[in-house]
Structure 1
Amino acid sequence: MFGCNLRRFIMVSVVLSLSLIIFQSSQSFGAKQKWKFMSNSGCKCHLSKGCFEGTEYKKMKNQHYNTFRRLETDEDKSNPECLKCHATALGMKIKRGKSKKGSKNFIENVGCEACHGPGEGYIKVKKNYKKKGKDAFKKLLKEDPMMARKAQYDAGLLVAGINKYKTIKEQCLQCHWEDAKAKNKCPKCEGTKNSEGNDRIFTKDYIKRDDHRDHDAIDDVLPKVDKKKWKGYIEQDPWYKTSPPND
C-alpha cells in the first residue's frame, strides 16, 4: 500500500513539475515576442517608399514568395522542419486573419518578416511616430535620419548585417547551405536543381539576386556618423559598401 501511494505521489509530482516548466516556458516565450507578425500587408521595411511598393519588392516576390507552394505533400505542409524555412512566423504570435487559412500557426511563404522580424512595432512607428500623426516619421527622417533608423530598429526591425546577424550570409545560411554535406541541408533537395539548372548551393549570387535595398536619406549621412554613438545601428557586413540596386 505504501509503495503504491509513493509511486502515485512521484507521478503526480512529475506531472506538476512538467506542467510548471511548460507554463513558464510559454510565458517567457510570450514575453520575448513583444510584437505580432502582420504579414506583408502595409509592411514597409525601408525608410523611404518601402520595398513593398517598389520594383525591388517584385524581385523579392519572385525569389521567396512561392516557397510554400514548393512543398509537394500535405505532410510537408504541416511538418515544422519544412515550415521553418518555407513559411513565416511558425508558432509565433500572428495578427488575426493574417495566418494561413485554417491555421493560426504560420504565414505561407517567406515574407518580409521572416528576415526582418514581426512588423507590428515598426509599422506603428511609420504610421504614427510618438503619436504625432502620419507625417511625424517623414519629418524625423528628413531632420535626423539616424534617429529615424534607431526608432524603427528599437521597434523590432531586424536587418542582417546590422543589428542581428553580423553578415547577410549568416542569416541566409539558416535555411540555405553552401556545402553539399551541410547538416541543415534539406534531404528532399538532394539531387534537385534551382531555377537556373544549378545545384542548390548558396553563393554570393544569392545575395545579389535578392538585393532589395534602396537609396534613401540614411545612405547620405552614414559616411559621416559617429560609429561609437550609433553602434548597433550601422552596417557591419562589407556587402553594404556596394551600391544599392537603384543608385
Structure 2
Amino acid sequence: MTDRSRFARAWLAILAIAVLVFLVLPVLIVAPMSFSSAQSLAFPPPGFSLRWYENLLGNAIWIDAGKNSLLLATLSSTAALACGTSAAYVLVRGNFRGKRIIEANFMAPAIMPSIIVAVALYIFLARIGLLGSFFGLVLGHTLLAAPYVVLIMQAAIRGFDIRIEQVAATLGASQWQILTRIVLPNLAPSAAAAWIFSFVISFDEVVVTLFVSGTHVTIPKRMFAELMLQVNPTITAVATLLIAFNLLALALLLIVRPRAKLFASEAT
C-alpha cells in the first residue's frame, strides 16, 4: 500500500467519523435534556427529573396524537404492503407494455419532494371530498410508503426461484394456490421488513400530514405545532421516545432481514 492510498484511507475514515458524530450529536443532546429538572431547555441538565415524561403521559392531547399516529401507521403500512406486494409481483413476473412507466409511477412519491406530493394530494383529496378526513390521510400515507414496499418486495421476488412456481403449475396448482401457498409464505420475512419500514415512514411523516389531515393530530404534527408556538421541554421527551421507537424498528429489521435471505436461499 502506497503512502498516497494510506493518506486517502485516513481522510476517508476521518470524514466518516465526522459524519457519524454530526448525525449522532443531536441524539446525545436531546436525550439527556428530556431528563432535565430545569424549567426550560438547558444543556447540560442541572439535575435529573422525569417531570417531562409525566407531563407527556398526563397530557390528553399527546395521548390522542399517539393513538392517531399508531392507528394511521398501522392502516397505511398494511395497505401499502398489500398494494406494493401485488405491484411488485406483477412488475417482476409480468411481461407487458408500459411496465417501466408503471414502475416509475410507483417510485415517483419516493423521488419527488414531499411538498410537491403534499400539494398534489391536497388538490386531489379536495376534489373527491376526502380532504381533512382520516381516510384521506391514510391514502396519503399509503402513497408515501408504497414505493419502499415495492422496492423491498421486488428484490425478494427476484431472489425467489421462478422454477418453483413453474413446477407447482405443472403439478396442477392454480395461480392463486401458487401465490398463497408457495410465494407468500416464503416472502413473509421480507414482507414483515417492508411493513416495519413503511410503518416507520408513516409514523414520522409530517409534511403530507400538515396538508391533508384537517383536525386530525399526529405526534409529528403536534410536535411541529408546539415548536411553532413555544419551546416546551416536553418536546425533548417526545423526541427521545421517537428515537427509541426508530431504534427498536431498526433492530427488528436487522432481525427480520437475515431470515428473509435464509428463506430465499432455502427456497432456491
TM-score normalised by structure 1 residue count: 0.28
Greater relative contact order (Cα 8 A, min sep 6): structure 1 or 2?
A: 2
Structure number with higher helix proportion: 2
TM-score normalised by structure 2 residue count: 0.26
